[in-house]
Amino acid sequence: MARTILHLDLDAFYCAVEEMDNPELRGKPFAVGGRPEERGVVASCSYAARRRGVRSAMPMGRALRLCPDLQIVGGHFSRYREESRKVMSILHEFTDLVEQLSIDEAFLDLTDRPDSDLQLAMNVQAAIREQTGLPSSLGVAANKLVAKIANDHGKGLFSGAGAPNAVTVVPPGEEAEFLGPLAVRALWGVGPRTEERLAELGIRTIGELAAADPGMLTERFGRHGEDMVRRAQGIDDSPIVTEREVKSISQEITFSRDVREEAKLRDQVRRQSERVAGSLKKNGLTAATIKIKLRWPDFRTLTRQTTLASPTDDSVVIEHTAWDLVRKVWYPGKAVRLIGVGASGLGTGPEQLPLFDLFEENR
């Protein structure tokens, strides 16, 4: 029996919450994010702003040039988390098979429900709207891949005022017909560079990719070529994952003005190390690998990491290890735009590398 998989995406979620809290924003071009003078970026933008060319992840300065009357709203992330929890709780009223992808996105498996696919999606959408007031869009298909693409496609067709509130259903057996005309970029795993390489082969649509010679694609792309052909044919048997293992914990900051002073950078490394250690302790984890991230004013970005002799959740160990990595690639006076500290190789092993050994190594 074909599965019934729903992909849920809350429409312009941050903005929708802001509009609930401040109705005067409704219908106006506004963006949630940082100030342009602080190198802020657009975290989310209203549909009125999107019609003016504003997009998420865009520098706020550019957004203001495209839309001079754009209102900038600082993020209220505790409110977003609160509303997200409400939505995810509503989804669990329909099924325990809920895979939360992010604060505003999830998959549901409603295979055993008796209603039609369209009715199921409309029921979920109505429950969210009635209990939270938030708009949402859904894609429905026999697998996660097609449900996600269906939802993205349905939202992309929307051109009216307000939120899309789209519902797009791909019946079982019609996956290839639905996917065929779409651009290859719509597929998971096809980024700009892969899209360019496929275009060089004359492959621009998912249908053309599905009909391509698998051997030729494997020769050009390796195992990824085989996977692309399967996805282009609408084949995906990945299950709903109800719990996800935390693979890394990190903290980073983009400075409003480039920082050159060693004391300021060291202070940020200390603060970030304390937050990373706090997250590790909260989750009962230790980290075997410590990582740093640096970005220079020209946007070149580098990362470095080292594996500890023993896993740790100690902020002092993390700080000294991270700073040692920074010192290997940075010199006093060199401007830094962004700095970050991270931990990976997570587990529940021994708590820390002895400080004596650490300092001996760094002398």
At 100, list the tokens: 């939360």
CA distances from 275 to 197, 262, 270, 315 (A): 42, 20, 9, 8
Element holding 225 (H helix, E strand): helix 223-232
Q: Are 46 and 30 in contact (CB under 8 A)?
A: yes
Q: Are 334 and 269 in contact (CB under 8 A)?
A: no
Give the integer Cα–Cα distance in Å for 346 and 289: 8
What is the three-class DSSP state of 193? helix
* Nearest to 15, CA basis, from 57, 49, 66: 49
How is residue 123 annotated by DSSP?
H
Given 24, 105, 226, 262, the catalytic residue: 105
Which residues have C-beta within 8 Å of that of residue 196, sequence separation ≥ 6?
none
Which residues have C-beta within 8 Å of that of residue 209, sequence separation ≥ 6?
184, 187, 198, 203, 228, 229, 232
Element holding 105 (H helix, E strand): strand 105-109
Return the sign of the alpha-carbon dihedral for residues 324, 328, 332, 335: negative
Is 105 one of the catalytic residues?
A: yes
CA distances from 344 to 206, 248, 267, 282, 307 (A): 36, 4, 22, 15, 9
In the sheet with 42-45, reading across from the earlier edge strand, the strands are 42-45, 30-33, 71-73
Q: What is the CA radius of gyration of the chain?
A: 24
Q: Which residues are catalytic?
A: 105
